[in-house]
Amino acid sequence: MELLRFATAGSVDDGKSTLIGRLLHDTKALFDDVIDAVAATTARRGGEGLDLALVTDGLRAEREQGITIDVAYRYFATPLRSFVIADTPGHVQYTRNMVTGASTSDVAVILVDARHGLKEQSHRHAALSALLGIDHLVLAINKMDLVDWSQSRFDEIHEQFLGLADKLGVGVVTAIPLCALDGGNVVDRSPHTPWYQGPTLLEHLETLPIPEPARNGLRLPVQVVIKPVVGSGAGPLAERRWYAGSLASGHPQVGDEVVVLPSGTRSRIAAVEGNAPAVRIQLADELDVSRGDVIAAAADRPDVQPNITARVAWMNDKPLRPGGHVLVKHATRTVKAVVTQLHDTLDIATLTSVPGAEQLELNEIGTVTFITALPLPVDAYEVNRTMGSFIVIDEVTNATVGAGMIVGAPVGAAQ
Amino acid sequence: MSLTTDPTDLSSFEDPMPQILTLDRRLAELEAHGIFVIREVAAECERPVLLFSGGKDSVVMLHLALRAFAPGVIPFPVMHVDTGHNFPEVIEYRDRLVEQFGVRLVVASVQDAIDEGRVPDPGPTGSRNRLQTQPLLHEITRNKFDAAFGGARRDEDKARAKERILSFRDAFGQWDPKNQRPELWRLYNPRIRPGEHLRAFPLSDWTELDIWRYIAVNDIELPAMYYAHRREVVERDGMLLATGPFTPALPGETSRVETVRYRTVGDMTCTGAVRSDASNAVEVLAEIEQSRITERGATRADDRFSEAAMEDRKREGYF
């Protein structure tokens, strides 16, 4: 069975929790005791039937405030696919959680209220999704019942969103008119939209193409070096160390020419074991390879650069400033780094890059260059998500304060 | 559901599985991710420990750890939080597995905590489930463990659905759900300050069905109580509880022998059995696919007290 991971994002009161509750309910993913608990809570609050938003709001503070604070992960399956939903919060102060949810997703479902259309949050959600490399956006236009299932209203919002997606360079947009409250066009087709010929939300999620993995040659960031337990009489190969990790790309085969980065030492693959992408390999030569090194195809290797330029989503109260000292975790290596330049920041409302900012504030996105204490083997994020991404860590608090997506290699990058 | 989905899609470097069942793409991805998390935490933390109850989730986690470091040894010990109200077959199974896998066992004993006055004595038949938190944190501090692998899954509970793969605990072992670290891509940040520790959940994205499919595919041995057997039980609050020294039949209750199995392994006083004839993993799978009640709702009295029961226990430092 295939696995599709999708993120959901919406502004406050767009009905996102209800939509997810509806999706789980109508695909029969909710068990009897969960439905009973939701019915009981609904009744206790003076409601009738099932308030499906209660299915997903898990934390006490969320129930008290009636909002979603943190990313919640939900699981359901149909005969065609199994799904992981990263349900992300709408509030601007929780943008970092939206980035968290979107970073592991193949598709983003962006919710808008048909009465209100696109809001600044919708721009932000679309921009963050695009920035994180999600090339397929689903625009779920909810609460269609409150605009009398108006086709012209649907078309109007759809048009606006297409303009936005175009600016962002998003490849595919699918708009669906729905009502999470009565379930119309979520799993089952609504009787109110004879003018709509497209799929329901679930039909679309079941059939849309799942993005393909990176097409680069071999990249294996070494996680751990394993010394085999061997008895006496074992041959020299049995005693040789294994380099274990998760493949960022490629299909290692015995005999392949490889290069260890950043040192540049060459060897050949002597053995491969494990279920991809979690593999371990042995090399034909005794080399000094340790955690953080990347074993790559000799013929198709990432650039090794002393500095990296990336779009950075900043997630800390303390702004990022040129000259600031941070830690960067890229693949399996954590290195010290210094911010050398803040090139521009992204204006979410106009989706344009604005030069001249002195610092990058919480929830802002900017283009930043870092110089790292050790050169890192990198690919552009759009080519290889694993080799093109990093997190920024505060040296003092250990907090994760930024998410970086590496832009194409600068001219004259060192090999 | 077919268990032989698309076997040609598997990029496997190992010998083909001897069983009819194979790892499909979803299961292969879940396995690889679990192994990835275990390797990351083991590489970056000084003193990790794996929480092992003998329950099916912790058994799968231990198998992932074995694969993560093969052909070497698992580079950390396992810890069992022992309520003293265990099913004897679980303890026997635990000791055998630890020996077979060559890992060191640390026992955090609720009985010791009661004897030393660290927790109140709930009486001979009282539930010891909530008392597990203190001995767990006590052993984490005493052994200077900085990371503890847990087998929790996000599909189990509403609070768990919001917990990160790496979850931070302050010096009092507490979880702050409003202040979780952003977790981007697969770039885990396990850095902590002295006195803090983290919990790592390599099975976060697995569902109960995935666990059983993995057990079936890999022919993993479980404690025998997971499969249908004859046992003396009483029916209480809609649950079937095994009668024994800690759970005698109450006045007005009559015990009888039934064919049952367990869906989770816990304290004998609060873990209920379900009527079942499923005698192996494949039959259990078929049964679960039919089931309309979640695992915890069916058989765990400890989660029934309030809607926020799990969140409250997690905040205090529970698993």
Number of domains in chain A: 3
Residues facing residue A333 across a β-bridge: A330
Is there a single domain that holds both residue B201 and residue B76? Answer: yes
Of the listed ranges A193-197, A263-267, B250-254, the one predicted with least confidence: B250-254
Note whether B203 and B257 are same-domain residues.
no
More confident residue, A198 or B18: A198
| Residues from chain A contacting residue B13 (CB–CB below 8 Å) | 272-276, 279
| Cβ atoms B167, B174 nearer than 8 A | no
Mean pLDDT of A74-95: 79
Asked if A386 is an interface residue toward chain B (Cβ–Cβ < 8 A), one would say: yes
* Beta-sheet pairing, A172-177 with B48-51: unpaired
Answer whether residue B313 shows pLDDT above 70: no
Q: Name the residue type at position A279.
A: V
Instruction: Say which CATH number the domain at A377 has.
Output: 2.40.30.10
In a domain, A412, yes or no: no
Contacts A329 to B, Cβ<8 Å: 187, 189
Q: Are B124 and B171 members of one domain?
A: yes
Encode pLDDT of A311-368 as tens digits.
999 989 999 999 999 999 999 999 999 999 999 998 877 778 899 899 999 888 999 9
| Number of other CB atoms surrounding residue A231 within 10 Å | 6
The reply to whether B48 and B97 lie within a common domain is yes
| Nearest Cβ partner for B73 among A229, A273, A275 | A229
Full domain range(s) for residue A341: 303-406
The CA distances from residue B319 to A69, B53, B120, B143, in Å, are 22, 11, 20, 17
What residue type is assigned to position B285 of the chain? L
- Say whether pLDDT at A92 is over 70: no
Q: Can you tell me the distance from the alpha carbon of A231 to that of A239, in angstroms, rounded to the nearest whole number?
A: 9
A249, A218 Cβ separation under 8 angstroms: yes
B247 and B129 housed in the same domain: no
Q: Is the pLDDT of residue A266 over 90?
A: yes
What is the spatial distance between Cα A334 and Cα A328, in angstroms, rounded to a whole number?
5
Which residue of B177, B182, B298 is in closest CB contact with A96?
Answer: B182
Contact A79 B1 (CB under 8 A): yes
**Is the per-residue pLDDT at A57 higher than 50?**
yes
Please check the confidence at residue A309 and state whether its pLDDT lies above 90: yes
Residue type, A180: A
* Confidence grade of residue A376 (pLDDT, cut at 50, 70, 90): very high
Query: For the segment A182-210, what is each residue's pLDDT rounded down to a tens digit?
Result: 889 999 999 999 999 999 999 999 999 98
The model's pLDDT over B168-195, given as tens digits with 9 standing for 90+, comes to 877 776 777 666 788 899 999 999 888 7
Residues B307 and B87: their CA atoms lie apart, in Å, by 28
Decide if pLDDT at B317 tops 70. no
Secondary structure (3-state) at A132: coil
Of B158, B205, B294, the CB nearest to A58: B158
pLDDT computed for residue B273 by the predictor? 83
Reference A385, options A120, A127, A192, A103; nearest CA is A103
Lowest mean pLDDT among A24-28, B86-90, B243-247: B243-247
Q: Using an 8 Å Cβ cutoff, are A366 and A344 in contact?
A: yes
- The model's pLDDT over B192-212, given as tens digits with 9 standing for 90+, comes to 888 788 889 999 989 888 899
Task: Give me the number of domains chain B comprises.
Answer: 2
Q: Do B229 and B209 have their domain in common?
A: no
Q: In CATH, what number is assigned to the domain containing residue A193?
A: 3.40.50.300
Contact at CB, A329 and B32, closer than 8 angstroms = no
What pLDDT, on the 0 to 100 scale, is given for residue B310?
Answer: 56
Higher pLDDT, A415 or B313: B313
Indicate if A289 and A390 belong to the same structural domain.
Answer: no
B135-158 per-position pLDDT tens digit: 888 888 889 999 999 998 887 776
Contact A80, A205 (CB under 8 A): no
Mean pLDDT, rounded, of chain B? 79
Do residues A290 and A258 touch, judged by C-beta distance below 8 A?
no
Q: Find all residues with CB under 8 Å of A152, minimum gap 6, and list them.
A: none
What six digits make up the tokens of A200? 């329901």
* Beta carbons within 10 angstroms of residue A325's beta carbon: 11
CB contact under 8 A, B70 and A226: yes
- For tokens 């999708």, the residue is A6
How far from the centroid of its chain's Cα atoms is residue B38's Cα? 15
Task: State the Cα–Cα distance between residues B80 and B51, nearest whole angstrom.
Answer: 6
CA distances to A14, A179, A201, B180, B225 from B271, in Å? 40, 41, 39, 31, 12
Residues 6+ apart with CB under 8 A from B165: B37, B183, B188, B200, B201, B202, B204
Rounded CA-CA distance B115/A346 in Å is: 61
Q: Tokens 């109007």 — which residue?
A: A156
Tokens of A34: 């969960």
Average pLDDT for residues B22-31, to the nearest whole number?
Answer: 82
Q: What is the pLDDT of residues A126-156, one digit of tens each?
A: 988 998 999 899 999 999 999 999 999 999 9
Amino acid A192: pLDDT: 94
Would you call A95 helix, strand, or coil by DSSP? Answer: helix
Q: Which residues contact A44 (CB under 8 A, 6 or more apart)?
A: none
CA distance B261 to B284: 9
- Whether the predicted pLDDT of B59 surpasses 90: yes
Please check whether residues A287 and A392 belong to one and the same domain. no
Q: What percent of chain A has pLDDT over 70?
A: 91
Helix (H, G, I), strand (E, B) or coil at A34: helix
- Window 309-368 of A, Cβ < 8 Å to B: 315, 329-330, 332
Provide φ and ψ at B254, rounded to 5°: -120, 130
| Position A212 in a domain | no
Contact (Cβ atoms closer than 8 angstroms) between residue A330 and residue A106: no
**Are both B148 and B294 inside the same structural domain?**
no
Q: Minimal CA–CA distance to A89: which of A171, A20, A27, A35? A: A20
Together in a domain, A157 and A25: yes
Do both B52 and B175 map to the same domain? yes
Residue B162 in any domain: the answer is yes
Asked if the model's pLDDT at residue B319 lies above 60, the reply is: no
Taking residue B248's Cβ as centre, other Cβ atoms within 10 Å add up to 13
Give the range among A232-241, A335-344, A384-393 with minimum mean pLDDT.
A232-241
A66 and A189 co-located in one domain:
yes
Q: Read off the CATH number of the domain in which B209 is found.
A: 3.40.50.620
Q: What is the pTM of this model?
A: 0.85
Q: Report d(CA A41, CA A50) in Å as an integer.
A: 9
Write down which residue in A297, A318, A340 finishes a domain. Answer: A297
What confidence tens digit (pLDDT) does each residue in B265-298 have?
A: 877 777 788 888 888 898 888 887 776 555 555 5
User: Predicted confidence band at B3 (pLDDT cuts at 50, 70, 90)?
Assistant: very low
Taking CA–CA distances from A89, the nearest residue in chain B reads: B162
Q: How far A384 CA sits from the closest chain B CA (Å)?
A: 12
The minimum CA-CA distance between A159 and chain B, rounded to whole Å, is 32
The pLDDT > 90 percentage for chain A reads 57
Tell whether A411 is covered by a domain.
Answer: no
Chain B CB within 8 Å of residue A244 CB? yes
Give the CA distances from residue A138 to residues A268, A339, B262, in Å, rounded to whole numbers and listed in that order: 45, 36, 42
Q: How, if at all, do strands A136-142 and A172-177 pair?
A: parallel
Chain A partners of B292 at a C-beta cutoff of 8 Å? Answer: 31-32
Are B187 and B248 found together in one domain? no
- Six token digits for residue B312: 């409250």
Q: Who among B1, B36, B181 is closest to A399 (CB)?
A: B181
Q: With 50 as the cut, is the pLDDT of residue B244 above it?
A: yes
| Co-location of B105 and B246 in the same domain | no
Q: Which residue has the tokens 């650039």?
A: A303
Is residue A415, in this structure, part of any structural domain at all?
no
| Same domain assignment for residues A70 and A130 | yes
- Residue A244: pLDDT band (50, 70, 90) is very high
- C-alpha separations of B135 from A229, B117, B141, B319 in Å: 34, 11, 10, 12
- Contact A116/A160 with Cβ under 8 angstroms? no
Domain that holds residue B208: 20-214+309-316
pLDDT at residue B1, rounded to an integer: 37
Least confident of A45-49, A50-54, A163-167, B6-10: B6-10
Is A374 part of any domain? yes
Bridge partners of A296, per DSSP, are: A219, A259
Name the β-bridge partners of A138: A109, A174
pLDDT, mean over chain A: 87
Residue B56 shares a structural domain with residue B106: yes
B161 plus B260 within the same structural domain: no
Of A58-67, A80-89, A211-220, A376-385, minimum mean pLDDT range: A58-67
Let me know if residue A213 belongs to a domain. no
Q: Rounded to a whole number, what is the largest CA-CA distance in chain A?
A: 80
On whether the CB atoms of residues A320 and A359 are closer than 8 A, the answer is yes
Q: How confident is the model at residue B2 (pLDDT cuts 50, 70, 90)?
A: very low
Interface of A with B in 85-144 (CB under 8 A): 96-97, 99-100, 103-104
